[in-house]
Amino acid sequence: MSNLNIEAKKRRSYDAIVIGSGMSGGWAAKELTGAGLRTLVLERGREVKHVEDYPTAMQQPWELPHRGQTPTALTKDNPVVSKCYAYGEATSQFFVKDAEHPYVQEKPFDWIRGYQTGGKSLLWARQTQRWSEFDFEGPARDGFAVDWPIRYSDLAPWYSYVERFAGISGNLDGLPQLPDGEFLPPHQLNCVEQHFSDAMKKAYAGARPMIIGRCAHITQPQPIHLEQGRSKCANRTLCERGCPLGGYFSANASTLPWAAKTGKMTLRPHSVVHSIIYDEQKQKAVGVRIIDANTKQMEEFYAKIIFLNASALNSNLVLLNSTSNRFPNGLGNDNGLLGKFIAFHNYRAGINAEYEGFLDKTTAGNRPNSGYIPRFRNVFKQETDFLRGYASGFGAYRGKYEDQSGWGADLKANLLNSKHNPVWNVGSHMMGETIPKESNYVALDKNQRDPWGIPQLRISVDYDQNDVAMTKDFFEQLTEMYEKAGFRNIRTYDSNRTPGLDIHEMGGARMGKDPKTSLLNGWNQLHHCKNVFVTDGACMTSTATQNPSLTYMALTARAADYAIKELKKRNL
């Protein structure tokens, strides 16, 4: 019998296990398999294969049952995920069903999740900005959160590495607060967007630039993209349905197929991770327990190193649920800080206006991108009554209207001869950095469990006065900027949306220099369990104002390279 057990354990043993197959998990799989490591990738949801499992990708509106309108019943049954900008009749298959994946909202929090191969990399907004030295220095300068154990120079070569593989379009703007990258040709600003950019240069002497956004779309395929089987973005702007062209970066189109080509990756869908197994004699993690999503049976898999990439809050959940005599409060949680100092991005504020110029022009076609205003507050020094700052999008468009009067032939003629609006519409949204606070936390609920018997996650995250002051400043500064550009009918709004809809939750297992105040070191290793690496949003010490996915990818590639070298040295 013991021989049978040994053989069974061998069949379930790998060199590495990656928990999660999304944005960062896909990168972990690519790097580890590329180094020759037999790697098991655990995905709690179903398998979604590139191209063949994008059922609505090529459908026209009339081919959808409700012509693309989301049925009321679907929204009613999914009150949380249906709030997401990407949710709809053509994309609902890539979102969880709220009732099937419960969690506890101690304070209102809209947790947006996509449980399938590729995770939310099928659904993301694809904006990709590097952090700057000022962002990594932020906590050390103002004393909130803890100092990052790395700086921009540590991550810069890894930004370049992932940018070249993923395919990032952008312009070389030469901004110290937003470093340039390895860019494919940029999208172009339209005439009103360029007018605003020029007006800002003149009004603020270059201190408040407005640039074309940097995004993960292939505008000019390079050999590395063709080798992945990906092609140029067709600007269809149907990205959230899954892109059969591979025109934008997703784990499904890029990193996971690349890992599969090595023959070293085993993908196991329908695997709900219960916990990480810690061996107290070996003083390290030895494997992962999963609950089969279909059979509800527990199974164990074993490996030398483990990469935890389940997405920020789920990664916290897995660590909290990984208890042992050595770690009664969760794996690596000697300081009691696991699950605390959760932060996010504040998207509550927006501003709209109109512009009466360029009425001899309009736009044609689609563009999967917009303008971008990098952070300009508190970058080089503290200058406001709130900490950190905000970035903002910017877009301009000129729509059409139809005369719906008349009957019969007259109505038909009116509808077929639409006219352009007499003004351009412009708008911006804020993406503000929130300050990590111990009072913003996640924890395991003591009573309620999910359908797989795992404690539900209790979420207690909220705004604070710093966010209120920042929102007020956004309204004031963007109003001033819009006025200087000659915009009229300026309207600000506060959506009062709950945290979570930004889909940029971060922290809980933050990086740091001191094991007393952080969970992870500068290589994304748990301080007290060196063969476990956390490289998704859970590792973030602060949030900056940039979209975070590019940083997750760079951190993952860097940590995987380190783990591979340490394995070869037999240090793990």
Q: How many domains does the chain have?
A: 1
Q: Report if residue 492 sits inside a domain.
A: yes
State CA 124 to chain mean position distance. Answer: 6
C-beta of residue 219 within 8 angstroms of C-beta of residue 185? yes
Q: What CATH number does residue 416 fall under?
A: 3.30.410
HEC letters along 394-430: EEEECCEECCCCCCHHHHHHHHHCCEECCCEEEEEEE
Q: Which of 528, 522, 527, 533 is nearest to 560 (CA)?
A: 533
Burial class from Cβ neighbours inside 10 Å (0-12, 13-18, 19+) for residue 561 reads middle
DSSP labels, 178-241 = B---SEEPPP---HHHHHHHHHHHHHHTTSS--EEPPBSB-SS--HHHHHTT---------GGG
Six-digit token string for 270: 């329908």
Q: Residue 556: enclosing H or E segment and its boundaries?
A: helix 549-568
DSSP classification of residue 139: H
Question: Which residue intervals of 356-498 are DSSP H helices?
Answer: 408-416, 465-484
Each residue's pLDDT tens digit in the chain (572 positions)?
456 567 778 889 999 999 999 999 999 999 999 999 999 999 999 999 999 999 999 999 999 999 889 999 999 999 999 999 999 999 999 999 999 999 999 999 999 999 999 999 999 999 999 999 999 999 998 888 899 999 999 999 999 999 999 999 999 999 999 999 999 999 999 999 999 999 999 999 999 999 999 999 999 999 999 999 999 999 999 999 999 999 999 999 999 999 999 999 999 999 999 999 999 999 999 999 999 999 999 999 999 999 999 999 999 999 999 999 999 999 999 999 999 999 999 999 999 999 999 999 998 889 999 999 999 999 998 999 999 999 999 999 998 888 888 888 888 888 888 889 999 999 999 999 999 999 999 999 999 999 999 999 999 999 999 999 999 999 999 999 999 999 999 999 999 999 999 999 999 999 999 999 999 999 999 999 999 999 999 999 999 999 999 999 999 999 999 999 999 999 99
Q: Report if residue 399 sits inside a domain.
A: yes
Q: Report if residue 270 sits inside a domain.
A: no
Question: CB neighbours (10 Å) of residue 141?
Answer: 14
Domain containing residue 404 = 190-213+345-433+463-498
Looking at residue 5, its pLDDT comes to: 67
Looking at residue 404, its pLDDT comes to: 85
Looking at residue 2, its pLDDT comes to: 54
Distance CA 27, CA 548 (A): 15
C-beta of residue 210 within 8 angstroms of C-beta of residue 372? yes
Distance CA 162, CA 92 (A): 29
Q: Which of 295, 215, 275 is nearest to 250 (CA)?
A: 215
Looking at residue 62, its pLDDT comes to: 93
Q: Report if residue 338 sits inside a domain.
A: no
HEC letters along 277-302: EEECCCCEEEEEEEEECCCCCEEEEE
C-beta of residue 533 within 8 angstroms of C-beta of residue 315? no
C-beta of residue 45 within 8 angstroms of C-beta of residue 115? yes
Q: Read off φ and ψ for residue 232, nearest 5 degrees.
A: -65, 140
Six-digit token string for 119: 């995770």
Q: Report if residue 395 sits inside a domain.
A: yes
Looking at residue 414, its pLDDT comes to: 81
Those residues whose C-beta lies under 8 Å from the C-beta of residue 246, and which sit 6 or more positions away, are 50, 218, 225, 228, 229, 230, 231, 253, 254
Q: Report if residue 328 sits inside a domain.
A: no
Q: Residues for the chain: how many in total?
A: 572
HEC letters along 43-77: CCCECCCCCCCCCCCCCCHHHCCCCCCCCHHHHHH
Burial class from Cβ neighbours inside 10 Å (0-12, 13-18, 19+) for residue 479 reads middle
Q: Report if residue 46 sits inside a domain.
A: no
C-beta of residue 84 within 8 angstroms of C-beta of residue 501? yes
